[in-house]
Amino acid sequence: MSTVLTDKRPTTLRGASLPKWSPWVIAAGSVAVAVGIGLGAGLDSRIQWGLIAAILYVLGTYAIASMVEGKRQAKDRIATSLVWVAFLLAVVPLASLVWATVERGVKVLDVYFLTHSMGVVGDREPGGGIYHAIIGTLEQVGLATLIAAPIGVLTAIYLVEYGRGNLARAVTFFVDVMTGIPSIVAGLFILSIMLIFEMQPFGFAGSLALAILMMPVVVRSTEEMLKLVPNELREASLALGVPKWRTILKIVLPTAIGGITTGIMLAIARIAGETAPVLLLVFGNPFINNNPFEGAQASLPLYIYQQYSQSAGAEPAYDRAWAASLTLIAFVMILNLLARGIARWKAPKTGR
């Protein structure tokens, strides 16, 4: 009996625990202390204040929890608080970016702005709009998608369903290499071809460069989605006497279609913001040009860049650039929402 000196097991299952609101109090406390330290030490960067508060919050949570609740719960809480801090670190810059864009962008963003071009407006004068740039972006990105999405999806199908041996390894290798191509290099590649044929800038040339950038992203995401389709479904279909290609078409692709579309949408979002290849190949154009196969066009990212760089600090041009940025962000966000919607709508149904 006397050999057991201390038994660490609690006598009841109910341990001491901090109240639900304690994280908020600790957070408020650490912010207050951080502000105090910041003012006292004369730190003028708010970022430093925030980081001090974050460190205080993590340490404070650990100290208080280990005093009240014990070691194991304290570790649990420190993990939770680290996740929260990481979340805030990620969200704060994003939120402030969106906020800055909205704040400055709404100034000139109206229906007139969306439906007029810069045709007769000087770079430094107020007025004008981005209609021509929207048309350009939609056409260039749309054509790039028409090229890259089918090729990318087919490549992924080859790699997952058929690819064996050296050819598949080579394809995978080249896809990896393509993922790393800087956009300006893709632009230069197309430009070198254009120079051989002595062509002038036009929208479709930009589409080709964008397609080069988009393809590996589509291949990768589609590959992952196809790998997620359980092998049992393929076998079930094959065992019914369905040929392999029909199995892929009717069983594998429909099962993965939600994820595949999401991947394509995200790839579109990625190339919609590319400036470098568009600058090289499409050149930019203040007038409306609906034909992507002839003549220079504008595009949203290029428009933003040119408004900044060509206006020598004129206020109206800055406003237009911000408004165009807001439009571009909205465009990408709508695509993301669309992708989520499609993914949810197409996801394999499990309800009764």
Dihedral (Cα; 63, 67, 71, 72), 10-degree rounding:
-100
Q: How far apart are CA 100 and CA 46, in angstroms?
A: 17
Residue type, 54: A
Instruction: For 139, list phi and psi in degrees, rounded to 5.
Output: -70, -45
Minimum distance from residue 157 beta carbon to other proteins (Å):
17
Minimum distance from residue 255 beta carbon to other proteins (Å):
5
Q: How far apart are CA 167 and CA 81, in angstroms?
A: 48
For other proteins, the closer CB: 151 or 233? 233
* Residues of this chain that bind other proteins (CB under 8 A): 164, 230, 232-243, 246-247, 250-251, 254-255, 348-352
**Short-list 278, 271, 226, CA closest to 252:** 226
Residue found under tokens 């050296």: 166
For other proteins, the closer CB: 255 or 307? 255
Residue found under tokens 């041996």: 165
Q: How far apart are CA 44 and CA 215, in angstroms?
A: 46
Minimum distance from residue 168 beta carbon to other proteins (Å):
12
Cβ partners under 8 Å of residue 256, min gap 6: 222, 225, 226, 228, 229
For other proteins, the closer CB: 69 or 161? 161
Minimum distance from residue 247 beta carbon to other proteins (Å):
8
Minimum distance from residue 152 beta carbon to other proteins (Å):
22
For other proteins, the closer CB: 158 or 308? 158
Minimum distance from residue 162 beta carbon to other proteins (Å):
11
H, E, C per residue of 262-311: HHHHHHHHHHHCCCHHHHHHCECCCCCCCCCCCCCECCHHHHHHHHHHHC
For other proteins, the closer CB: 11 or 350? 350
Minimum distance from residue 113 beta carbon to other proteins (Å):
43
Q: How far apart are CA 10 and CA 72, in angstroms?
A: 13
For other proteins, the closer CB: 139 or 223? 223
For other proteins, the closer CB: 262 or 325? 262
Minimum distance from residue 186 beta carbon to other proteins (Å):
35
Cβ partners under 8 Å of residue 94, min gap 6: none
End-to-end distance of the chain based on CA atoms, in angstroms?
A: 59
For other proteins, the closer CB: 162 or 173? 162
